[in-house]
Amino acid sequence: MVTAPPLPSGLVAFVKRDCETCQLVDPILGQIAKDEPLTVYTQDDLSFPGSLTALDDLSLEMSWHHKIETVPTLIRVGANGLEQERIVGWSRDQWQAFSGNPELGITLPGFRPGCGSLSVDPSRSDELNARMGGSGLATRRVEFAELEDDFEAMFDRGWSDGLPLVPPTEARVMRMLDGTTREPNDVVANVAPDLIDVTVEKIAVNAVMAGCKPEYMPVVIAAIEAICTDEFNIHGLLATTMSVGPVFVVNGPIRKQLGMNSGINVFGQGNRANLTIGRAVQLVIRNVGGGRPGGVDRAAQGSPTKIGLAFPEDEEGTPWISLAEERGMEPGQNAITALCVEGPRLIVDQLSRSAESLTNLIAECLLTTHSPRMVVGIDALLVLSPEHMARYIDAGWDRARFRSELEDRLMVNADDIIRGTGGIEEGLPADFAGMQLPKFRPNGLHIAHAGGPAGLFSSVFAGWVSGPTGSVPVTRPILP
């Protein structure tokens, strides 16, 4: 941290030309200077004020160190260099008492508020905090050559997922850290595959690069906590040749607070929070954990979910309990659920007007996820659209009824999918003949509600191998 320059004894004033109140008190400052020592610092124009010569504070160093939030500010400093009292803005009574001159500013209005100090201007405060305060950041600094382009240099160093990154300057990282109450050096998780401890600060660096806002930090941290567990198994997800990646479903009031999109184009482009939260998580896995394509990441074809996808559930559009509540969270609690899935696939039914008919169609579609011959060992995320959800609301079905009806229709006759049946070599071993098997493992079908108000389309995200040898969805509370 830069040492605070001392203020001279006597009266000290901070002003800027771009302030009507400062212009109002310009002649007053000249009067005060005739009676006692007065030092004036100007923030934006060395020729202002005109009534006396001011000292240069264009760097805002003095204003920052002495916590000037409003100009004009008048400070009395003792002989020991310590501040005794200050006045903010113009108050005739206070300035008269301060100066001991009962006639001071007698023709001026009794009160005028000041203007914001340039040292707290949002466009400059972050850079000042980093420059003057010392960032205290522990992350290694990387210096780019003068002729290097910042964006190209980040690509060249392998930090990017293939899209441009925001340069993580100290000022930007410090601003990102303001989005959480966690300390920068707090260890959040141990990140596979390199098994590196990731701190809040390291997450902030990658959140900056991903394009997050500071208020997204609690969600990003909760997402990292969720995937860096034995249950979720991010290492296995990376190493598999299947085309799966983490997708995050957000529940609770924080959805609205962050402006997340649960409606039209919910899985697509256009919403900053939806896209950058998931991207920040993936950059942490890449840049901290070392999970890069061609290395540990061995996906044969990959998936857009490997770039990053988070979306909120449309809780207001359905009377059903939310995904997070079904998974044990309290109503109204901010929570995030991480699921290991491939990209979304449409379920189209534009004619069904009864809950029974629509459920039959959805079951037919779900039976084909990954392969009609793959059963028991996988999960899936079903996202019902508002128009499809309306069928169940009209029929009076709740989530439990829908799940029960759907699971009944997702039982598979093993004889139909034994290896060799239908001239297809893929399938179950002959030992399973005669059995009735569920398409998904118990509680392996996860249900959410989101999408635009028009369109008779829902979606299914097929999962990866579930259970101890694969991945299990993980739900975590989102904390400040």
In a domain, 140, yes or no: no
Residues of the chain above pLDDT 90, percent: 90
Confidence of residue 136 (pLDDT cuts 50, 70, 90): confident
In a domain, 180, yes or no: yes
399-409 and 355-366 helices cross at what angle (nearest 10)?
50
Would you state the pLDDT for residue 130? 77
CA gap 201, 230 in Å, rounded: 23
Q: Are residues 98 and 226 in the same domain?
A: no
In a domain, 38, yes or no: yes
Residues in the chain: 480
CA gap 128, 475 in Å, rounded: 39
**pLDDT, the chain, mean:** 94
201 neighbors 137 (Cβ within 8 angstroms): yes
Out of 102, 133, 164, pick the residue that ends a domain: 133
Q: Are residues 62 and 166 in the same domain?
A: no
Q: Is the whole-model pTM more than 0.75? A: yes
Q: Are residues 35 and 171 in the same domain?
A: no
SS3 for the chain is CCCCCCCCCEEEEEECCCCHHHHHHHHHHHHHHHHCCEEEEECCCCCCCCCCCCEECCCCHHHHHCCCCEECEEEEECCCCCEEEEEECEEHHHHHHHHCCCCCCCCCCCEECCEECHHHCHHHHHHHHHHHHCCCCCCCCCCCCCCCCHHHHHHHCCCCCCCCCCCCCHHHHHHHHCCCCCCCCCEEEEECCCCEEEEHHHHHHHHHHHCCCHHHHHHHHHHHHHHCCCCCCHHHHHHCCCCCEEEEEEECCHHHHCCCCCCCCCCCCCCHHHHHHHHHHHHHHHHCCCCCECCCECCCCCCHHHCCEEEECCCCCCCCCCHHHHCCCCCCCCEEEEEEEEEEEEEECCCCCCHHHHHHHHHHHHCCCCCCCCCCCEEEEEEECHHHHHHHHHHCCCHHHHHHHHHHHCEEEHHHHECCHHHCCCCECHHHCCCEEECCCCCCEEEEECCCCCCCEEEEEEEEECCCCCCCCEEEECCC
Whether 4 shows a pLDDT value over 80: the answer reads no
Confidence of residue 75 (pLDDT cuts 50, 70, 90): very high
Out of 133, 161, 196, pick the residue that ends a domain: 133
Whether 129 shows a pLDDT value over 90: the answer reads no
- Burial classification of residue 40, based on how many CB atoms lie within 10 Å of its CB (0-12 exposed, 13-18 middle, 19 or more buried): buried
Confidence of residue 242 (pLDDT cuts 50, 70, 90): very high
In a domain, 439, yes or no: yes
CA gap 121, 136 in Å, rounded: 22
In a domain, 388, yes or no: yes
Q: Are residues 182 and 64 in the same domain?
A: no
Would you state the pLDDT for residue 9? 94
In a domain, 2, yes or no: no
Q: Are residues 185 and 279 in the same domain?
A: yes
**Range 124-149 average pLDDT:** 82
State pLDDT tens for residues 259-313: 999 999 999 999 999 999 999 999 999 999 999 999 999 999 998 899 999 999 9
Would you state the pLDDT for residue 380? 96
The number of folded domains in the chain is: 2
Residues of the chain above pLDDT 70, percent: 99
**Range 73-92 average pLDDT:** 94
Q: Are residues 268 and 405 in the same domain?
A: yes
Whether 333 shows a pLDDT value over 90: the answer reads yes
In a domain, 139, yes or no: no
Out of 77, 101, 133, pick the residue that ends a domain: 133
Whether 3 shows a pLDDT value over 80: the answer reads no
CA gap 106, 99 in Å, rounded: 13
Q: Are residues 215 and 329 in the same domain?
A: yes
State pLDDT tens for residues 36-69: 999 999 999 999 999 999 999 999 999 999 999 9
Domain of 217 in residue numbering reads as 151-477
Q: Are residues 32 and 159 in the same domain?
A: no
In a domain, 1, yes or no: no
Confidence of residue 134 (pLDDT cuts 50, 70, 90): low
Q: Are residues 350 and 207 in the same domain?
A: yes
- CATH number of the domain residue 113 falls in: 3.40.30.10
192 neighbors 238 (Cβ within 8 angstroms): yes
Q: Are residues 291 and 408 in the same domain?
A: yes
Would you state the pLDDT for residue 469? 85
Q: Are residues 98 and 155 in the same domain?
A: no
Would you state the pLDDT for residue 5? 86
Q: Are residues 385 and 342 in the same domain?
A: yes
Would you state the pLDDT for residue 131? 77
Whether 122 shows a pLDDT value over 90: the answer reads no
More confident residue, 4 or 353: 353
Q: Which amino acid is at 277?
A: I
Whether 468 shows a pLDDT value over 90: the answer reads no
Would you state the pLDDT for residue 126? 79
Confidence of residue 1 (pLDDT cuts 50, 70, 90): low
Would you state the pLDDT for residue 135? 62
